[in-house]
C-alpha cells in the first residue's frame, strides 16, 4: 500500500437533518465490523439550545459558520416571534438566508466580529458549525479509539449553493447537478478534496473551514449522491447494470436512474410535498423517459432531467428499484416492489459508504484498500457496477 495499515483509517461523517452518521473505516476490520455512531444532527443539537434560551427569555448570540438550517433556523425564528433579541455575525447569519438583508428583515441584528466580545455573557452564545471533529474525536477516545492517525476524513452535507439574487435556489441547485453530471457523469463527481470545492458551494466550503483541527486530508461531498452511491454496496444491488436508486431523505428525495453508460436521469423533490402515489409516478416517469423538469419544478421540487430517453421497464424481473434514506417507509407496500437497501447491514450509514468511495476517487493512493474492502464486503469483485468506482 505504501503506507502502514494504521495510517489507512478513514473517518466518514454523513450529516443530515435528523442525524449525523459516523463510520470509522479500518482496513484491518471487515467493513461490517466498522465502528460507527448514529447521533443527533448538528442542526437538531443547536435547535435544542436555542429553544432553551427561548424558554429562559434570554437574548441569543449566534457566531460561527454557515451551516445547515431547517430546525435550528426555525428555532431562531420562534425566538424572534417571542419578542426576544437575536444578534448574529455575518457568516453565521447566512445559515438563515444567503441574503443578509433578508436576515435583517426577520429581526436579526447583524454585528461585526469585533462586537462579539461585548455581548458574551449577556446572551446565550450559540456557535454554528456542521462539522465538529473534536467532539467526535472525544467520543471515540472514551472507548479507547484514537483519531490522530487518520489518512483522510470525509464529510457529507446537502448544499443548495449560493444562488445569485433573483435566482431560485431550487433552480440553482439543479443547474449544478446537471453541470456535474454532464461534465463527469458519475456519482463520485459530487465529492471534492478540500482544496477543490467550487466557490458556489458555500456550505461545503464552510465544512472545510470548520475542519481546521483535522490533521488528515479532507473530502466533502453532497449527502444525497453519497447515500445513493452507498446503497449500491448492498450485496443485492452491487453489480446491477440498470437500476433506479432513490434516497428518501427527511427534507429531500433524490433519485438517479443508472445504466451501462452512467447516469441516465435524475430528479429531486421535497419529501414533505410528496406521498407514495406521487413518488411512484415520478419514478415511473423517470424510468420511461417522460419525466420533465417543468413538472417537478412547478410542483415546488428542484427539477428533473432525462439524459437517455430509452425506456427502462421498472416492473421487470429482478431488482429494478432501490430505496434508501431515513424516510424510506414512504415506499412500504408500493406496487413498484422496491428493494430497501441496507449496505453492510445498516441503512442508516449508507451515505458513509458513499463518502468512502468518494475518498477513493479523490485520493488514488487510498483507492485500492478502500474499494477492495467495500467490494469484497458487498460480494462484488468486479465493482459496484460497470460504470462507477470499479477497482
Tens digit of each residue's pLDDT (9 = 90 or more) over 267-303: 999 999 999 999 999 999 999 999 999 999 999 999 9
Q: In whole angstroms, give the CA distance from residue 23 to residue 152.
A: 12
Answer whether residue 189 is part of any domain.
yes
Answer whether residue 389 is part of any domain.
no
Say yes or no: 329 and 190 in one domain.
Answer: no
Instruction: Give the per-residue pLDDT at 261.
Output: 86
State how many domains the chain has. Answer: 2
Instruction: Give the per-residue pLDDT at 2.
Output: 43
Say yes or no: 207 and 245 in one domain.
Answer: no
Say yes or no: 335 and 290 in one domain.
Answer: yes
Answer whether residue 348 is part of any domain.
no
Answer whether residue 382 is part of any domain.
no
Answer whether residue 368 is part of any domain.
no
Say yes or no: 219 and 281 in one domain.
Answer: no
Instruction: Give the per-residue pLDDT at 43.
Output: 97
SS3 category, 25: strand
Q: In whole angstroms, give the CA distance from residue 73 to residue 96.
A: 6
Outline where 310-349 has alpha helix (H): none
Q: Which of 335, 328, 243 is nearest to 280 (CA)?
A: 335
Answer whether residue 64 is part of any domain.
yes
Q: What percent of the chain has pLDDT over 70?
A: 95
Say yes or no: 258 and 206 in one domain.
Answer: no
Is residue 365 a contact partner of residue 4, using CB atoms and an 8 Å limit?
Answer: no
Instruction: Give the per-residue pLDDT at 377.
Output: 76
Instruction: Give the per-residue pLDDT at 6.
Output: 47
Instruction: Give the per-residue pLDDT at 167.
Output: 92
Instruction: Give the per-residue pLDDT at 4.
Output: 46
Say yes or no: 45 and 144 in one domain.
Answer: yes
Instruction: Give the per-residue pLDDT at 7.
Output: 57
Say yes or no: 161 and 285 in one domain.
Answer: no
Given 196, 223, 250, the domain boundary residue is: 223
- Expressed as residue numbers, the domain containing 157 is 7-223
SS3 category, 367: helix
Say yes or no: 176 and 38 in one domain.
Answer: yes
User: What CATH number does the domain containing 268 carry?
Assistant: 3.30.420
Instruction: Give the per-residue pLDDT at 388.
Output: 53
Is residue 156 a contact partner of residue 221, using CB atoms and an 8 Å limit?
Answer: yes
DSSP β-ladder status, 191-193 and 152-157? unpaired
Q: Around Cβ 327, how many Cβ atoms within 10 Å?
A: 17
Instruction: With a cut of 50, list the residues of the chain below it in pLDDT.
Output: 1-6, 381-387, 390-391
Evaluated on CA atoms 318, 321, 326, 330, the torsion sign reads negative
Say yes or no: 135 and 251 in one domain.
Answer: no
What tens digit of pLDDT does each residue of 198-236 get? 999 999 999 999 998 899 999 999 999 999 999 999 999
Say yes or no: 65 and 104 in one domain.
Answer: yes
Answer whether residue 381 is part of any domain.
no
Given 223, 257, 285, the domain boundary residue is: 223
Strands (E), the chain: 10-15, 19-25, 35-40, 60-64, 86-88, 109-110, 124-128, 152-157, 191-193, 217-222, 243-248, 252-259, 262-270, 303-306, 321-324, 339-340
Given 198, 223, 248, the domain boundary residue is: 223
Instruction: Give the per-residue pLDDT at 375.
Output: 87
Q: What percent of the chain has pLDDT over 90?
A: 88
Say yes or no: 156 and 276 in one domain.
Answer: no
Answer whether residue 14 is part of any domain.
yes
Say yes or no: 247 and 211 in one domain.
Answer: no
Amino acid at each position: 500500500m505504501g503506507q502502514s495499515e494504521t495510517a489507512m483509517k478513514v473517518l466518514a461523517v454523513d450529516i443530515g437533518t435528523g442525524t449525523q452518521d459516523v463510520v470509522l473505516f479500518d482496513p484491518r476490520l471487515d467493513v461490517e465490523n466498522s465502528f460507527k455512531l448514529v447521533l443527533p444532527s448538528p442542526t437538531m443539537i443547536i435547535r435544542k439550545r436555542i429553544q432553551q434560551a427561548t424558554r429562559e427569555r434570554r437574548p441569543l448570540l449566534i457566531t460561527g459558520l454557515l451551516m445547515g438550517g431547517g430546525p435550528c433556523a426555525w428555532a431562531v425564528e420562534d425566538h424572534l416571534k417571542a419578542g426576544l433579541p437575536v444578534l448574529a455575525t455575518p457568516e453565521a447569519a447566512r445559515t438563515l438566508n444567503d441574503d443578509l438583508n433578508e436576515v435583517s428583515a426577520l429581526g436579526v441584528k447583524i454585528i461585526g466580529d469585533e462586537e462579539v466580545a461585548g455581548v458574551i455573557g449577556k446572551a446565550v452564545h450559540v456557535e454554528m458549525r456542521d462539522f465538529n471533529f473534536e467532539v467526535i474525536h472525544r467520543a471515540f477516545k472514551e472507548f479507547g479509539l484514537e483519531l490522530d492517525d487518520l489518512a483522510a476524513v470525509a464529510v457529507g452535507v446537502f448544499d443548495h449553493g449560493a444562488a445569485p439574487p433573483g435566482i431560485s435556489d431550487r433552480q440553482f441547485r439543479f443547474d449544478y447537478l446537471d453541470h456535474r453530471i454532464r461534465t463527469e457523469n458519475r456519482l463520485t463527481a459530487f465529492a471534492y478534496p478540500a482544496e477543490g470545492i467550487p466557490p458556489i458551494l458555500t456550505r461545503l466550503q464552510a465544512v472545510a473551514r470548520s475542519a481546521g483541527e483535522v490533521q488528515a486530508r479532507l473530502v466533502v461531498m453532497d449527502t444525497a449522491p453519497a447515500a445513493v452511491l452507498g446503497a449500491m454496496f448492498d450485496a443485492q444491488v452491487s453489480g446491477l447494470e440498470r437500476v433506479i436508486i432513490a434516497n428518501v431523505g427527511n427534507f429531500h428525495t433524490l433519485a438517479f436512474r443508472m445504466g451501462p453508460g452512467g447516469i441516465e436521469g435524475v430528479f429531486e423533490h421535497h419529501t414533505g410535498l410528496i406521498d407514495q402515489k406521487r413518488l411512484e409516478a415520478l419514478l415511473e416517469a423517470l424510468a420511461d423517459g417522460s419525466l420533465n423538469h417543468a413538472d417537478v419544478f412547478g410542483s415546488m421540487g428542484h427539477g428533473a432531467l432525462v439524459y437517455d430517453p430509452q425506456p427502462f421497464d421498472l416492473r421487470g424481473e429482478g431488482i429494478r428499484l432501490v430505496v434508501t434514506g431515513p424516510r424510506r417507509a414512504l415506499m412500504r407496500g408500493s406496487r413498484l416492489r422496491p428493494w430497501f437497501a441496507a449496505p453492510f447491514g445498516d441503512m442508516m450509514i449508507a451515505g458513509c459508504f458513499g463518502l468512502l468511495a468518494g475518498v477513493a476517487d479523490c485520493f488514488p493512493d487510498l483507492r485500492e484498500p478502500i474499494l477492495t474492502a467495500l467490494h469484497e464486503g458487498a460480494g462484488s469483485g468486479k465493482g459496484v457496477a460497470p460504470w462507477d468506482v470499479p477497482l
